[in-house]
Chains A and B, each alone.
Chain A
Amino acid sequence: MNSLVCVKQVPDTTAVKIDPVTNTLIREGVPSILNPFDGFALEMALRLREQAGGTVTLLSMGPPQAAEALRTCLAVGGDRAFLVSGREFGGSDTLATSYILSCAVKALEERTGEHFDVIFCGKQAIDGDTGQVGPELAEHLDFPQITYATDAARENGKLRVRRETAEGYEVLECGLPAVISVTKTPYELRYATVKGIFFSNRAEIPVITPQEMEGKIDLSRAGLKGSPTKVKKSFTPQRSKQCALVDEASPAASGTRLAALLFEANKI
């Protein structure tokens, strides 16, 4: 059971602050982290490896420094990692990104002579928040997809996946290969280990360049020009409301007054 886990290095959006004067994002000093949902996906892949054997390979697309997120993954137990990187890929929207990744998957399979049974992705990246790359990658590769997965196990040569639904959850089964997009799992990504850290810092992370994929990728479908969606403008949301503070003699009295106010305003 060989897994490929697609991961993204993202700014830690919980550390982002807004400049109160210019009302713009302050991006300086915001640490880069492994996208948390990709961490859940990795943990699911590692558990599957423990259950069914095989390898866990990591793949990311981004600038050279995105290799750091891949090293984080190797330190917790990934077997090897590859980075897709090139100027031609800059400015890609989700359609172009998933297309490039699908070409990279094929290039990787050719390069390693290995075949991926499952491709895991996080549900969404916390910077873009689109959640589209997983299903689009599945479509490019013509694999079945299961999104919002919370657990996966191998059963009778197939993959059995538990996923969230609006009403509760459901269990789906699908043949391999398949793309599994992972939401928050009941378990967290395991800690790195001393050996894992030593391994990850010495691991070579090959870069897959556009040149390397020549003949296997249509560059007109990559980058800005391959992206049907364009960001026209961005702005910080305005949040200014007048808050009516209820301030009675005691917190309990305030509570009583608040309930009455909500009742009067027909809110309850």
Chain B
Amino acid sequence: MAFCDYQDIWVLIETSQGKAAGVGLELLAPGAELAHRLGQRVAAVILGAHNSEAERAAAAYGADVIYSAEDPAYAHYSTDAYTYGMAALVETYHPSILMIGATIIGRDLGPRLSCRLRTGLTADCTSLDVDAESGILSWTRPAFGGNLMATIQCENTRPQMGTVRPGVFKKVPPDWERTAEVIRERLPVPGGVVRTTLVESIQETAAELVRLEDAEIIVSGGRGLGKAENFSCIRELAEVMGGAVGASRAAVDAGWIPHVHQVGQTGKTVAPKVYIACGISGAIQHLAGMSGSDCIVAINKDPDAPIFGVADYGVVGDLFQVIPAMVKEIKRLKAE
């Protein structure tokens, strides 16, 4: 097959209980833009048990075409079922580009699928560009702990695949009147394909759940807190702001807070509206995980801390004095 026979930009829409998850809808935005430049279409791909709600969302957020496959085996993500379904769709419809959110699911599925398709995959991309003539996508991603950015191309195999970081692209405003061509595919998963069994799935309660990737406001604490108990002031600020609690690696390694809160290269990558770094010096590994935030606030005793180099607002001073004052003022302003 010639490369020109591979058409369209596909975006995998992850679902959770039938609802489209955020990152897939985000990726429809750059997908549509790239498709426009290539004169092709952007397609949403949905695997699930009941897809109608997710299909509507995909149309509203900009998909031209929707490939939808329903089967009970897709209700809960499994590597084998999803790889089976996605590989079958790709082999039938030949997309030129396939984008997947760099979530836990996306980073499990992406490499398994690209390997089955014997094509290249670029991980955890933060920017995309396409050459309209050749149709070759340039995937740019951080490497080396965020010290280096690399632009990667996949010239000789199709589809060109990449996982893209959540939070990098913004969703377009939804248009619920918009419709898209829906192609429903019957792809029942044959017995024996799925080799793992789900024994239990624990959804942490809202209080315990740390969905840093989805949070609009994150307040993070680092080494400057000194000890575990001092995280209480971070929690208090997060609470009055309605945000989530993050942490630097130093705080996690010291055992002050569990790893699920860790932001940075070996933790989570976040891009909230506001990121408040308290007592975090700003090692490059930490910056790699949060520098995409809209507004960064740094509170640190050390005026030379690298965190101030990426911050929009900064206070050089003792966080134990700064934060309580902030809490008090925010409470007052909210009460007004």
Contacts and interface: CB of A to CB of B under 8 A. Distances in A.
Interface string B255-283: 00001101001100000011000000001
Given A98-B115, A167-B203, A227-B120, A14 B145 contact: yes
Contact of B313 (A94, A240, A243): A243
A59 interface: no
B143 interface: yes
Contact of B321 (A144, A245, A252): A252
A203 interface: no
B112 A135 contact: yes
Q: Is the interface of B mostly helix, strand, loop or mixed?
A: mixed
B253 to A, nearest CB: 9
A239 B307 CA distance: 10
B118 interface: yes
A144 B156 CA distance: 28
Interface string B195-209: 111111111100011
Contact of B322 (A230, A254, A260): A254
Interface stretch (B38-46, B49-57, B146-154, B180-188): B146-154
A127 B111 contact: no
A16 B145 contact: yes
Contact of A234 (B120, B148, B274, B312): B148
A239 B310 contact: yes
A231 B313 CA distance: 36
B329 A13 contact: no
A231 B150 contact: yes
Interface stretch (B5-13, B101-109, B220-228): B101-109
B326 A231 contact: no
A168 B147 CA distance: 30
Given A130-B123, A167-B204, A228-B120, A243 B197 contact: no
A251 B295 contact: no
Contacts of A129: 123-124, 141-145, 265
Contact of A252 (B104, B154, B324): B324
A232 B195 contact: no
A233 B198 CA distance: 42
A168 B242 CA distance: 20
A173 B116 CA distance: 23
Contacts of B284: 16
Given A94-B111, A239-B309, A175 B195 contact: yes
Chain A CB within 10 Å, residue with most, of B111, B157, B199, B283: B111
A258 B315 contact: yes
A54 interface: no
A238 to B, nearest CB: 9
A93 B116 CA distance: 15
Nearest to A147: B108
A175 B192 CA distance: 12
B308 A243 contact: yes
A132 interface: yes
A59 to B, nearest CB: 18
B164 interface: no
A135 B155 CA distance: 22
A173 to B, nearest CB: 5
A69 B213 CA distance: 34
B80 interface: yes
Given A164-B104, A267-B295, A255 B326 contact: yes
Given A144-B196, A232-B138, A16 B315 contact: no
A229 B198 CA distance: 34
Contacts of B266: 36-37, 126, 184
A133 B114 CA distance: 11
B314 interface: yes
Nearest to A145: B79
A192 B175 CA distance: 60
Interface in B211-243: 211, 213, 217, 241-242
Given A13-B285, A94-B111, A131-B111, A237 B146 contact: yes
B254 interface: no
A174 B326 contact: no
A89 interface: no
Contacts of B198: 170-172
A168 B146 CA distance: 27
A237 B315 contact: no
Contact of A13 (B105, B145, B156, B316): B145
A58 B124 CA distance: 28
A229 B204 contact: no
Interface string A215-241: 000000000000111111111110111
B315 A245 contact: yes
A63 B111 CA distance: 25
Given A171-B200, A245-B314, 7 more contacts: A136-B112, A170-B201, A173-B197, A228-B154, A243-B311, A251-B321, A251-B325
Interface of B: 16, 79-80, 83, 103-105, 107-108, 110-112, 114-116, 118-124, 138, 141-157, 195-204, 208-209, 211, 213, 217, 241-242, 259-260, 262, 265-266, 273-274, 283-285, 287, 291, 295-299, 308-318, 321-326, 328-330, 333
16 contacts: A16-B147, A127-B145, A132-B107, A135-B112, A136-B112, A138-B112, A139-B111, A165-B201, A170-B201, A229-B120, A231-B151, A237-B142, A251-B318, A254-B317, A260-B333, A262-B274
